[in-house]
Structure 1
Amino acid sequence: MMRKGWKRVSAVALLGTLLIGCAGEEDSIVMAPVPVVENTFTPESFWSSNVGDGVGRYYSNLTPAYEYGKVYAADRGGEVKAIDGETGKTLWTVNLSEEKPALISGGITASYSKLYLGTETGELIALDEETGDLVWRINAGGEILSKPLADESLIVVNTSRGELAAFDAESGEERWRISTDVPNLTLRGDSSPVAISGGVFWGMANGRLGAAFIENGNIIWQQTVASPKGATEIDRLVDVDATPVISGSLLYAVGYNGQLVAIDLRSGRPAWKRTYSSTTDFLVVGSYLFLVTDKDHVVAVDARSGTELWQNRDLEYRQLTAPVAISGYVVVGDAEGYLHWLDPTTGEFVAQQQLDDSGIAVAPIKADDAYIVITRDGRISKKQTQ
């Protein structure tokens, strides 16, 4: 009951002002005003389309995918659409809610000539990427709120029940499952798993980062990213919801009320740790690591040492998306539908663009020399910097 209650509070937080009651006290969080930015360029639009009703004001990490020269997008209600990446023409549309509500929440992963999507009702769904036809649809055992991983002919998902489960990419047959402890109260969201060299890595709601053999699910190691502290359950939240990032010999992870850590992939031991709190996916480009904190401060640190290079606080509590690298800039979206472009070396604004006022829930994705962005109301467009 506590877990579900906190999830409801998390959904309300999307409205712009979050009130958390604890022992009779209230903390009011106020969104920073839109920064005044002198644009150094204006993005060019190629095409735009719509995908159902989008995700509305619900919590969602429902990110589109670009693969096979197509853009694949979905709305929470169950509509999935394939769009020609060059022309913006709709190639096919399917509705996964014709027989029962889909409530798509995790995905989209395009691989093995298929699309893989997860739902709030605990289903993992595979579609033919060429036609949209249903290939298989199975019960994964828990909500899938993050993007599935495709690797070694397996589809691996991290469920809200604290289970990492692997399924055959062709048949949907379960191959293995790992269960971990889930605290009574957690944030709404789950880490997407990542893989390299036969290992799979994922964050857990108990503050740990896990590593296992992807072939059989046997645990290799677990590393603590955040430890519970404080007197209340809210104070003791330690979710590791951000997707880990692998760069070279290091694996990076960050936890809520925890730390940003760099872990040696071979030994599983930390190379360095720094105190940052975040649940948002982050970005590693060369020697730079870009992070959005739980206060929506955009931070750059040296990926080799963890030394902070700069911090931009002008977007505080604007409910930022994960950062993404586009045309040499760091880009984040916000709850009022703005894209903010930052200089990666200084953190200063170089451009700003409002798409619409419904808001942006997920970061843009790259599409060759352009980018794809979707808003909360389902408007999807392809753009390019000039």
Structure 2
Amino acid sequence: MKKMLNKALVTAVVIGALAGCASEDDTVIMAPLPQVTDQFTPSSQWNTSVGNGVGQYFSKLTPEYAYEKLFVASRDGVVKALNPEDGKTLWETDLEQDTSALLSGGISAAYDQVFVGSENGDVYALNQETGELNWAANVNGEVLSTPVTDSNFVIVHTSKGVLIALDQSTGEVSWEISTEVPNLTLRGTSKPATISGGIFWGTANGRLAAAMVEPGQLIWQQPIGTPQGATEIDRLVDVDASPIILGSNLYIVGYNGQLTAIDLRSGKPAWKRKYSSSSDMATDGSRLFVVTDNDHLAAVDARSGTELWNNKQLENRLLTAPVIIAGYLVVADSQGYMHWLDRDTGEFVAQQEVDSSGFAVGPVALPDGYVVITRDGDVKKLVIE
């Protein structure tokens, strides 16, 4: 428990991930950089920038590849569409008005539009071809995760525990579902996942919630973590990760909770394993890859929940959520290093120092390479040859 608490407090100091906490607990030591013999060295194709990036703020503005464009954004309100072949700007829109736009909720693209949310509670819809602002809607709560789209809705999960569906063409509210938010929570919200007319998301009170997209009706909530301990910090059980759906099962992990497989037909757990994480997971279809709250990397069999390997060499390096690029498992850290691991063994196969400003989000796959965005707003396309 102390390691998980320490990680939360370090994250609060470094990037403001834990809201409203302070402590003089033991110092957390970042693991030294592992010594890796590179099996490959990615080459750079182009380099550009977007605004001032996100700095050291909690703004997980993951780029989005769609409509044969790469969409990127900065916390201060600059949104760009880039040509993924050469990095040239196709259009640029500045959403900053009298104050900073405080973009934070990630980027998604659908319905010929680009959607992004903000700490001010604003959701923006831009024309994907021109960058023109189609509409803006305020949802009365910070939008800290990426909007999702389904059934002609743009669905956002706010920091106040409200899931809100906006009409994709007008931004008008179609429905809202509220869940309980404790007095003290981790900074972040779960990005929902949708399938077959259902929508699933993690809540700040340690549950997985399920609803019907139409008409926006809550179906059930399943506990992922149970509050324990004497203090509010001990009792944190946020589920900030996005659910993963594989076949008839859904997988979710929570802070101070468990990695849980849910049978979607019954809504009941198929298995549970003790992992604590507030980061999104990655999957290759048969395995789940988890970054724990002390930055251990684990591979878990999706059918049984059996741990296949556990790599502890990046402890407390403030890792991004894991992603799969070119068949490898990849994480990036707060010091600007990218780490590539063999998915079968968990052993390192390559490592690169990309930018000393560090990373808030991991790389994004492109058809012929991948793109990274650093905390200071540098956008780089790289390829493995």
TM-score (norm 2): 0.95
User: Helix, strand or coil for the counterpart of 1:106?
Assistant: strand
Structure 1 residues 183 and 198, CA, compared in 2 at 3 Å: closer, same or farther? same
Q: How far apart are the structure 1 equivalents of 2:20 and 2:83?
A: 47
Q: How far apart are the structure 2 equivalents of 1:18 and 1:121?
A: 17
Structure 1 residues 313 and 17, CA, compared in 2 at 3 Å: closer, same or farther? farther
1:61-85, Cα deviation, whole Å (9 max, x unpaired): 1111001111110000001111001
| Paired AA for residue 214 in structure 1 | V
Deviation of 1:11 (Å) = 8.6
Deviation of 1:27 (Å) = 2.2
Deviation of 1:10 (Å) = 6.2
Question: Do the aligned partners of 2:225 and 2:255 also contact (CA within 8 Å) in 1?
Answer: yes
Question: Do the aligned partners of 1:291 and 1:298 also contact (CA within 8 Å) in 2?
Answer: yes
Matches within 5 A, 1:53-92: 53-92=52-91
1:119-156, Cα deviation, whole Å (9 max, x unpaired): 00001110011111100001112000000001111000
Deviation of 1:189 (Å) = 0.3
Query: Partner residue of 2:319?
Result: 320
Question: Do the aligned partners of 2:175 and 2:216 also contact (CA within 8 Å) in 1?
Answer: yes
Q: How far apart are the structure 2 equivalents of 1:20 and 1:93?
A: 33
Query: Partner residue of 1:3?
Result: none
Query: Partner residue of 1:260?
Result: 259
User: Helix, strand or coil for the counterpart of 2:26?
Assistant: strand
User: Helix, strand or coil for the counterpart of 2:104?
Assistant: strand
1:235-273, Cα deviation, whole Å (9 max, x unpaired): 000000001111111100000000000001111000100
Q: Which deviates more, 107-116 or 96-105? A: 96-105
Deviation of 1:101 (Å) = 2.4
Matches within 5 A, 1:1-386: 13=12, 15=14, 26-386=25-385
Q: How far apart are the structure 1 equivalents of 2:191 and 2:17?
A: 26
Q: How far apart are the structure 1 equivalents of 2:71 and 2:261?
A: 33
Q: How far apart are the structure 1 equivalents of 2:23 and 2:174?
A: 48
Q: How far apart are the structure 2 equivalents of 1:24 and 1:195?
A: 38
| Paired AA for residue 167 in structure 1 | L
Deviation of 1:328 (Å) = 1.0
Deviation of 1:94 (Å) = 1.1
Q: How far apart are the structure 2 equivalents of 1:102 and 1:360?
A: 21
| Paired AA for residue 293 in structure 1 | T
Q: How far apart are the structure 1 equivalents of 2:160 and 2:34?
A: 40
Q: How far apart are the structure 2 equivalents of 1:36 and 1:88?
A: 32
Deviation of 1:219 (Å) = 1.1
Q: Which deviates more, 94-103 or 111-120? A: 94-103
Q: How far apart are the structure 2 equivalents of 1:59 and 1:35?
A: 26
Question: Do the aligned partners of 1:17 and 1:29 also contact (CA within 8 Å) in 2?
Answer: no
Q: How far apart are the structure 2 equivalents of 1:34 and 1:248?
A: 38
Unaligned runs of 5+ in 2: none
Deviation of 1:22 (Å) = 9.0
Q: How far apart are the structure 1 equivalents of 2:220 and 2:20?
A: 37
Q: How far apart are the structure 2 equivalents of 1:255 and 1:19?
A: 15
User: Helix, strand or coil for the counterpart of 1:55?
Assistant: coil
Structure 1 residues 24 and 36, CA, compared in 2 at 3 Å: closer, same or farther? closer
Question: Do the aligned partners of 1:210 and 1:221 also contact (CA within 8 Å) in 2?
Answer: yes
Q: How far apart are the structure 2 equivalents of 1:173 and 1:269?
A: 34
1:256-313, Cα deviation, whole Å (9 max, x unpaired): 0000000011110001000000000001212111000000000001011000000000
Deviation of 1:13 (Å) = 3.5
Deviation of 1:99 (Å) = 4.0
Q: How far apart are the structure 2 equivalents of 1:24 and 1:351?
A: 36
Q: How far apart are the structure 1 equivalents of 2:21 and 2:189?
A: 24
Question: Do the aligned partners of 2:50 and 2:74 also contact (CA within 8 Å) in 1?
Answer: yes
TM-score (norm 1): 0.95
Aligned CA-pair RMSD: 2.1
Structure 1 residues 350 and 14, CA, compared in 2 at 3 Å: closer, same or farther? farther
| Paired AA for residue 367 in structure 2 | D
Q: How far apart are the structure 1 equivalents of 2:23 and 2:333?
A: 31
Structure 1 residues 324 and 19, CA, compared in 2 at 3 Å: closer, same or farther? closer
1:183-216, Cα deviation, whole Å (9 max, x unpaired): 0100000000110000000000000000000011
Structure 1 residues 366 and 270, CA, compared in 2 at 3 Å: closer, same or farther? same
Question: Do the aligned partners of 2:17 and 2:187 also contact (CA within 8 Å) in 1?
Answer: no
- Percent identity, aligned pairs only, is 58
Q: How far apart are the structure 2 equivalents of 1:220 and 1:174?
A: 20
Q: How far apart are the structure 1 equivalents of 2:282 and 2:333?
A: 17
Question: Do the aligned partners of 1:148 and 1:157 also contact (CA within 8 Å) in 2?
Answer: yes
Question: Do the aligned partners of 1:360 and 1:374 also contact (CA within 8 Å) in 2?
Answer: yes
Deviation of 1:20 (Å) = 12
Question: Do the aligned partners of 2:17 and 2:188 also contact (CA within 8 Å) in 1?
Answer: no
Deviation of 1:24 (Å) = 7.6
Moved over 2 A (4+): 9-25, 98-101
Question: Do the aligned partners of 1:356 and 1:375 also contact (CA within 8 Å) in 2?
Answer: yes
Question: Do the aligned partners of 1:164 and 1:178 also contact (CA within 8 Å) in 2?
Answer: yes
Question: Do the aligned partners of 2:18 and 2:186 also contact (CA within 8 Å) in 1?
Answer: no
Q: How far apart are the structure 1 equivalents of 2:19 and 2:331?
A: 26
| Paired AA for residue 42 in structure 1 | T
| Paired AA for residue 211 in structure 1 | A
